[in-house]
Amino acid sequence: MRLVNIIPDVDALLAMEPDELGLRMLPALAAFAREPGISVMLSYFLPAVVSGQGPRAHLDQYPSHRRNEVHIALTEAWAWLEGQALLVPAQSHVGPHDVRMLSRKAQRLATEANPQRAISAHRLAKDTLHPAIREDIWALYHRDKYDTAVFEAMRAIEIAVRDVGGFAARDVGAALMRKAFDVDNGPLTDMTAERGERQALSDLFAGTMGTYKNAQSHRKVGLDDPDEAAEILMLASHLLRIVYARRSRTAAP
């Protein structure tokens, strides 16, 4: 499996971010590592892919006049793979060296039947999530526990609303959101906003809870799309930021 078979269009390759290109490189790197007498080194891999030179080079690769652009893109992608511990120092060498091997996770990703799914599963950046859910939810998401990650994120919103709004443990779900963001007297309602905006925010919180927490609670939903799960978790993170901003406002003298 050569990289040109995976990404035949050089313009498509150059348009990719380092993370996407790096993940798409993994099957080619795995095949490269299996070739006899080959060490997985950037200085070996680049000439083979870019210019048809070096060990096991292929002469029908990307256009020679795009060589420098491809070289830079692959170097960035290689650096990303190392940063994610997908390419790690080879154990067969001692002392400082540039020889790499695919980590166990990289070997699994290299055989992923749906490359886009593997790429999608890495798009949820940890630091984009609210601190209240950052550690636990991110870990669940990256273990492919999408249903559980969404449910726990919704539960975190519920807990935050109860805490900030001073509600009892029996207050749950969409009904809790309606009370907390009641347009006339909700403790988390911004009374300086127009009535229509207050109603819209109440609808957003109640609708989110009714759609994503209640469905997860009452039946097996089977959420298995990493992109969809990431979008829901980002929504949850945004709602948590609103709730905790209300706490800061109510706590101000």
pLDDT tens digits for range 116-173: 566 665 667 788 899 999 999 988 988 888 999 999 999 999 999 999 999 999 999 9
Tell me: the pLDDT tens digits for 128-141? 899 999 999 988 98
Q: Residue 182 has which token pair?
A: 């009641």
Q: For the chain, what is the radius of gyration of the CA atoms?
A: 24
Q: Residue 43 has which token pair?
A: 């200085």
Tell me: the pLDDT tens digits for 37-91? 778 899 888 887 765 444 444 445 788 888 889 999 999 999 999 998 899 988 7
Express as a percent the part of the chain with pLDDT over 70: 84
Rounded to whole angstroms, how far apart are CA atoms 171 and 211? 17
The full set of domain ranges for the chain reads: 3-113, 126-251
Tell me: the pLDDT tens digits for 4-16? 888 889 999 999 9
Question: What's the distance, CA 234 to chain centroid?
Answer: 10
211 contact partners, CB below 8 Å, separation of at least 6: none
249: confidence class by pLDDT, cuts 50, 70, 90: low
Buried b (16+ CB within 10 A) or exposed e, 78-111: bebbeeeebbeebeeeeeeeeebbbeeebeebbe
Express as a percent the part of the chain with pLDDT over 90: 49
In three-state secondary structure terms, 111 is coil
